[in-house]
A and B are shown apart, each in its own frame.
Chain A
Amino acid sequence: MRAPVSWLREMVGIPLNEGGRDIAERLVRAGLEVETVEVIGEGVVGTLVIGHVVEIEELTEFKKPIRWCQVDVGPDHGGARGIICGARNFAAGDMVVVALPGTVLPGGFTIAARETYGHTSDGMICSERELGLGDNHDGIMVLPEDVGVIGADAAPIIGVGDEVLDIAVTPDRGYALSMRGIARELAFSYEVEFDDPGVRVVELPAPAAGAVPAECGSEDFGACGLFTIRTVTGFDPSAPSPLWMQRRLVLCGMRPVSLAVDVTNYVMLELGQPLHAFDLDKLSGPVRAGWAKAGSRLETLDHVVRDLGPDDLVILDDSGIIGLAGTMGGLTSEIDDATVTIALEAAHFSSGVVARASRRHRLSTEASRRFERGVDRALAPYASARAAELLIRFGGGIYMGMTAVEAEYRPSRISMPVTEPSDVAGMPIDGSTVVRLLQSVGCEVDESDGRITVDAPSWRPDLTDPADLVEEVVRLMGYDMLPSTLPTSALGHGLSWAQRVRRRVGMALAARGAIEVLTYPFVGDRELDALRLSEDDPGRAKVRLANPLSDEQPLLRASLLPGLCAAARRNIGRGNVDLNIFEIGSVFRGLAGETLVRPSVDHRPTDDEWSRLNDLLPEQPIMVGCVLAGERTPAGWWGASRPFDWSDAVESAQVIAEVLGVELTVARGSDPTFHPGRCAALMIGDAQVGVAGELHPRVIEATELPVRACAMELNLDACRGAAHSVRRAPAVSTHPVAKEDLALVVADSVPASTVMKALRDGAGDLLESIRLFDVYRGSQVTGGHRSLAFALKFRAADRTLDAGEIQRARQAAIDSAARTCGATLR
Chain B
Amino acid sequence: MSGPNTSFDPKQVSVLSANAVDGMVREACEAISAAATLAALKEVRIAHAGDRSPLALANREIGALPPAAKAEVGKRVGEARTVVKSALDDRQVSLEVERDERVLAEESVDVTLPAVREAVGGRHPLTTLIERVCDVFVAMGYDIAEGPEVEAEWVNFDALNVPPDHPARTMQDTFYVTSADSGVVLRTQTSPIQIRAMLERPLPIYVVAPGRVFRTDELDATHTPVFHQVEGLAVDENITMADLKGTLDHFAQAMFGEGIVTRLRPSYFPFTEPSAELDVQCFVCRGTSVGNPDQPCRTCGSEGWIEWGGCGMVNPRVLRAVGIDPMRYRGFAFGMGIERTLMFRNGVTDMRDMVEGDIRFTRAFGLES
Contacts and interface: CB of A to CB of B under 8 A. Distances in A.
A494 B138 contact: yes
6 interchain residue pairs of minimum CB distance: A604-B323, A426-B240, A31-B266, A426-B242, A490-B141, A517-B357
A373 B166 CA distance: 9
B94 to A, nearest CB: 36
Interface stretch (A127-135, A480-488, A706-714): A480-488
Interface string A403-414: 000000000000
A580 interface: yes
Contact of A474 (B141, B181, B241, B356): B241
Contacts of B274: 424, 467, 470-471, 474-475
B249 A424 contact: no
Interface string A481-515: 01111111111111110110001001101111111
A518 B355 contact: yes
21 contacts: A29-B265, A33-B267, A171-B168, A359-B170, A467-B315, A467-B316, A471-B273, A475-B266, A483-B246, A485-B240, A492-B140, A513-B119, A519-B357, A576-B358, A598-B153, A601-B161, A602-B320, A603-B320, A605-B199, A614-B152, A620-B150
Contacts of A592: 150, 177-178, 182, 184
Contacts of B19: none
B357 A571 contact: yes
B119 to A, nearest CB: 6
A661 B254 CA distance: 33
B357 A518 contact: yes
A117 to B, nearest CB: 43
Interface stretch (A239-247, A383-391, A544-552): A544-552
Contacts of A427: 240, 242
A602 B143 CA distance: 27
Nearest to B170: A359
A467 B313 contact: yes
Nearest to B321: A601
B264 to A, nearest CB: 4
A415 B10 CA distance: 137
Interface stretch (A8-16, A631-639, A739-747, A789-797): A631-639
A368 B216 CA distance: 22
Contacts of A593: 184
B85 interface: no
A718 B246 CA distance: 40
Interface stretch (B31-39, B42-50, B97-105, B124-132): B124-132
B11 interface: no
A171 B269 CA distance: 9
Interface stretch (B63-71, B75-83, B110-118): B110-118
A506 B127 contact: yes
B218 interface: yes
Interface string A448-490: 0000000000000000011110110011000110111111111
B285 interface: no
A580 B240 contact: no
Nearest to B360: A576
A437 B43 CA distance: 110
Interface centre among A355, A487, A490, A601 (most CB of B within 10 A): A487
A546 B175 CA distance: 7
A624 interface: no
A547 B176 contact: yes
B120 interface: yes
B10 to A, nearest CB: 63
A634 B119 CA distance: 10
B358 A571 contact: yes
Contacts of A521: 149, 226
Interface string B211-245: 01000101000000110000000101011111101
Contacts of A567: 356-357
Given A483-B242, A571-B359, A604-B323, A424 B167 contact: no
Contacts of B178: 543-544, 546, 592
A647 to B, nearest CB: 14
Interface centre among A425, A470, A515 (most CB of B within 10 A): A515
A585 B210 CA distance: 13
Given A355-B165, A546-B177, A471 B275 contact: yes
Interface string A584-625: 111010001110111101111100001001101110100000
B362 A515 contact: yes
A25 B161 CA distance: 30
A646 B142 CA distance: 42
Contact of B150 (A31, A543, A596): A543
A458 to B, nearest CB: 20
Interface in B180-212: 180-184, 186, 199, 204, 206, 212
A516 B141 contact: no
Given A516-B122, A520-B355, A543-B150, A465 B241 contact: no
B166 A355 contact: yes
Contacts of A31: 265-268
Given A482-B245, A546-B176, A549-B216, A618 B150 contact: yes
A93 to B, nearest CB: 48
B138 A570 contact: no
Given A543-B150, A602-B320, A514 B121 contact: yes
A172 interface: yes
B268 A173 contact: yes
A503 to B, nearest CB: 7
B345 interface: no
Contacts of A506: 123, 127
A516 B150 contact: no
Contacts of A598: 153-154, 158, 183
B23 interface: no
A355 B268 contact: no
A588 B150 contact: yes
Contacts of B343: none
Interface string A733-768: 000000000000000000000000000000000000
B246 A620 contact: no
B245 A484 contact: yes
Contacts of B148: 586, 617, 620
Nearest to A582: B121
B264 A545 contact: no
Given A479-B264, A485-B242, A509-B121, A570 B357 contact: yes
A19 B18 CA distance: 118
A471 B266 contact: yes
A586 B149 contact: yes
A708 B273 CA distance: 58
Contact of B180 (A352, A513, A547, A570): A547
B266 A479 contact: yes
Contacts of B166: 171, 355
B300 to A, nearest CB: 15
Contact of A171 (B146, B268, B355): B268
A516 B127 contact: yes
A601 B152 CA distance: 14
B161 A547 contact: no
Interface in B348-368: 354-360, 362-363, 367
A400 interface: no
Contact of B273 (A423, A465, A610): A465
A479 B272 CA distance: 15
B322 interface: yes
B215 to A, nearest CB: 10
Given A465-B317, A633-B118, 6 more contacts: A355-B165, A482-B242, A498-B146, A511-B120, A515-B359, A571-B357
B155 A613 contact: yes
B62 to A, nearest CB: 50
B268 A170 contact: yes
A470 B313 CA distance: 10
Nearest to A593: B184
Contacts of A520: 225-226, 355
Contacts of B175: 545-548
A482 B268 contact: no
A450 B168 CA distance: 35
